[in-house]
Structure 1
Amino acid sequence: MRIVLGVAGGIAAYKAVLLLRQLREGGHDVRVVPTPAALEFVGRATWEALSGQPVTTDVFEDVDQVAHVAVGQQAELVIVAPATADLLARAATGRADDLLTATLLVARCPVLMAPAMHTEMWQHPATVANVATLRARGVHVLEPASGRLTGADTGPGRLPEPEAIAAAALALVGPRDLAGRHVVVSAGGTREPLDPVRFLGNRSSGRQGVALARTALARGAQVTLVAANMSVPAPPGVDVVQVETAAELRDAVRTAAKVADVVVMAAAVADYRPATIVASKIKKRADGSAPPLELVQTTDILAELARDRPRPGQLVVGFAAETGDDEGSVLDHGRAKAARKGADLLVVNPVGDGKGFGAETNEVVVLDGTGELVARFAGSKDDVAHAVWDAVLAASEHGVIRP
């Protein structure tokens, strides 16, 4: 896809470098069009090296190619990140005093702007009016994230993460094959308290679950994300329910599942919890011995959902993080788990040695309820998420779910 990446002059321009790399790794042809001020933050050489294309800012450069018209005419998608208060104002009033604003006037493809500025600028009536004007014209203006800004202040005005911008932008031109469906995704790792300081947990970062939620949203679904303890932020646009323990996750998923067409259990849920929670911090013993730790098994949420579905035709998808051992391979254990759980699909992925938890990539095998291979995929966690939703839609075509 031919994408124009516009970059305005704000400190968040450095994040646009990561966005550019992500778009390029996705196979897209990206032309970067920075404003002159943007080059004060990230230089021309960086944009040209990562995009593989020349970078110009002025309408009087490449005049023989009529760049101020051609760039916008050839674009299939325009993303502006960051979109500063100044850029929003100039775009809203139809200015064309540099190559980026001229391109915005010419482009007839979807346009997405990701604002980034200080909170006071974002909330100023002039910016509010400019955003309303752009949205009324069909421009997709994201809400900025809240968090640390330049300096010590915090608040709304932070540029959304590159992954979220890319997903929102590509959703404007991508398939909407999950439209009309409500999906529930669990993500992260549960923590089972032992005392006021310690807990039993796992290494899950929540990346794969967040990718599943983000791609489902991009493909048109209404998404509820039941988020256990995650090291990555939830994607903008999804309904988030925060939980801590396996019991809390079970309650939240069961409640959300009452109106869901698909439930995807991607969270790493503790199999065991301490039998009792000690009221005060457990101290070291003078004799060097360790106190006994009694564990009890938690509820098998996936098996329970598969057995007691709150909606007819609901599809239940499980995840199984596995390691091979003397008793069998990752796939052997996955097939045995598929038979026990009763889910419609089970996504099996190896973990350990840099795989799975916390990694940027994943490799999975998708099994049906009988343990038969449905799909095998490896790639980024967003790519894996798309492969999982493809498998869900294939199951839907066979009558498992109906929007």
Structure 2
Amino acid sequence: MLPAPQYAVLPGRRWLLPSALAAGFDPDRAERSTRWGRPRRTVRDWVVDFGCFLLAVVIGVLSANTVSHDPNTPHTLAVLDQLLGALACAAVWLRRRWPLGLAVAMIPVGLISNTASGAGLVALFTLAVHRPFKYAGGLGAVQLALIPLFFWLRPDPDLPYAASVAVTALLAVSVVGWGMFVRSKRQLMLSLRDRAWRAETEAALRAEQAQRLAREAIAREMHDVLAHRLTLLSVHAGALEFRPDAPQAEVARAAGVIRESAHEALQDLREIIGVLRAGDADDAGRPQPTLVALDGLVSESRAAGMKVVLDNRVTDPAGVPASVGRTAYRIAQEGLTNARKHAPGAEVTVCVAGAPGDGLTISVRNPPPPGEVPHVPGSAQGLIGLTERATLAGGRLEHGAQEDGGFAVRAWLPWGNGTA
């Protein structure tokens, strides 16, 4: 199992960066460390370490048995051989902490002790896994050069000299090759994991940017509407100021307009403050269409060659609050645009219904395209922005593929009992 990469928090940002890359792409970094800063062994690490220790012991026992039954080996040398082999097997537990040091120490020990041959192979394999090739290749070359000397000093009683050298050299090369293969595989997995992490981070950043842009667009629209209401309020207040002798009915009507405009301006101001919490909005922009302009939008789509069926069950579209009407218009506009791109030739159905107190529902549905659809690049950022927009308006939006292969966008927006 490959250890998960550690992550470090970047100053001033909430995103994380894999610290394994900053540490030289070391595949042996563990996710957790002890209070001394050393990697903490996992359950898998303990199992692997015990397996390596057991392998070193088994090879050492077989070699010790050969040494003890060799009549050409003095008893003192056989005891020293087995003692050094036991110490070498015990040192296998240090292979993760000091892979290079252990592999270097195994070279002189291996010349003296035949029992330490298993521990030497484990040390060489560990070095190939946890360090670059220049270390494993260098020490492997040194061991290959010393193999003929070892069997010249201590010949194998069962194999000829040439066969012993060839078999041992082949075994050392295989161990180094296997270790490099494991290291390359771990590096590849880390690279793929880092790419996936970067892709997820970039997707999250794009989604966050789309939400921020949607908030800014809504804030610009609200700014224009609020400016219109305040201008209207100022005009009527100015009329009362310059015509104090106006008839009572006209004064009462102007006061009513001022009161209603001030109330609606406060409502819009509350909405724009909620939007601006997520980002600053500039003063550029222009008044945006509301639900009243839905018929014109459908007519434009039909003129462009689309088959659109409009089912508008709202008896008084002008009575829909301006903010709700703008959001509904944008949902219909985005739905028709997506249908035009991804389902050309299909008949699109736009349904709008609702009443004060019940809310406003709008849906845009299209069946599967009748023919082949050309590839049109898209990132679904428009639907992300619409979802954020509907949420900010106090409603909800759902979109997705249908069972028949078509696509649908459905939204519900609040519609109070007040007037717009």
Give 1 or 2: higher helix fraction: 2
Scaled by the length of structure 1, what TM-score is found?
A: 0.25
Q: Which has the larger radius of gyration?
A: 2
Higher strand share: 1
